[in-house]
Amino acid sequence: SYELRQSPSLSLSPGQTARITCSGDALTTRSASWFQQKAGQAPVLVIYKETQRPFEIPERFSGSISGTTVTLTISGVQPEDEADYYCQSTDYSGVYFVFGGGTKLTVL
């Protein structure tokens, strides 16, 4: 079955830039989104269609794509950005959805 690959963890200090990557062969043709999930809470959409940000999401969150890899960038991480981040896309058919394994961002 189709998989999206994420690095498991990342630790940064406040003010640094976080780059979280997600790789999948179908990402050249299928749209991707990013979700933030804080402990004990439901996921929240932070980026959709690779680069689009919902209006309520801070500008420090941005997305990009290069080949088969999408990247979530958080410019100047804040303590409140500490969370698990998941990428999401579909397989080649576009019918079946999949999430990456998640990346735990720790802000020290």
Partner 1 sequence: QVHLVQPGAEVKKPGESVKVSCRTSGDTFTMYYMHWVRQAPGQGLEWMGIINIGDGIASYAEKFRGRVTMSGDTSTATAYMELRSLKSEDTAVYYCARDGPIKFGTWGQGTRVTVSS
Binding residues vs partner 1 (CB under 8 A): 1, 31, 33, 35, 37, 42-45, 48, 54, 84, 86, 88, 95-102
Least gap, CB of 48 to partner 1 (angstroms)? 5
Of 14 and 94, which CB lies nearer to partner 1 in the complex structure?
94
Report strand pairing: 97-99 vs 61-66: unpaired
Least gap, CB of 7 to partner 1 (angstroms)? 13
| Residues in Cβ contact with 56 at an 8 Å cutoff, skipping those fewer than 6 apart | none
Pairwise CA distance, residues 87 & 4, whole Å? 8
Pairwise CA distance, residues 86 & 37, whole Å? 8
Least gap, CB of 81 to partner 1 (angstroms)? 18
Of 60 and 104, which CB lies nearer to partner 1 in the complex structure?
104
Pairwise CA distance, residues 103 & 57, whole Å? 19
